[in-house]
Structure 1
Amino acid sequence: MALLKRLAEHDRDVLPFTLDGQPATGLQGDTLLTAVLTRVDSLRGSDFSAEPRAGFCLMGACQDCWVKLGDGRRVRACATLLEAGQCVSREPGRTL
């Protein structure tokens, strides 16, 4: 189940992307954080445990929203805009 729900504003262009190998869509102007959390219930697992995380500061100052792109880069989901065709992988976190 998605953590975020769109209540209004559905008139932006739809952008297809891949999330953990599965097709997904977001809207033009979405950050990766928004695009991911309108599809699933967490952004990634914690670096200290596998507990689900959904971002913390939402402005690029913390380290809580890292995701991996298809080209191998790790980016902050809250500060990176969604692009059509992006491949986004959530990190499961570390199990201790």
Structure 2
Amino acid sequence: MRPIRRLLSALVGSAIAIAVMVVLATIVFSIIIVVVSTSARLAGYDPSSDYVVLSSALIVVAVILTGGLTPGLSRRSNDAYETDDVDDRMYG
């Protein structure tokens, strides 16, 4: 019974994390749409809505991927705080 409970708790935790990620990505996407359209107008352009949504989606994807890769990429070999007990799942 214990392994099933552990499995279900991990599944619920993953579902909650996915839901939070989707909500945050939607909020960031809405904010970036406003920023992209405003900056295009300030630059003197009048882009169609399709291009504003496309560029906003590309920016959000880049931000999400960068956020996932940053912990592994920002580690330096001569860092004074480097320890072996760091759980870095990207670079094992």
TM-score by length of 2: 0.21
Q: Which has the larger radius of gyration?
A: 2
Q: Which has the higher strand share?
A: 1
TM-score by length of 1: 0.20
Higher relative contact order (CA 8 A, sep 6+): 1
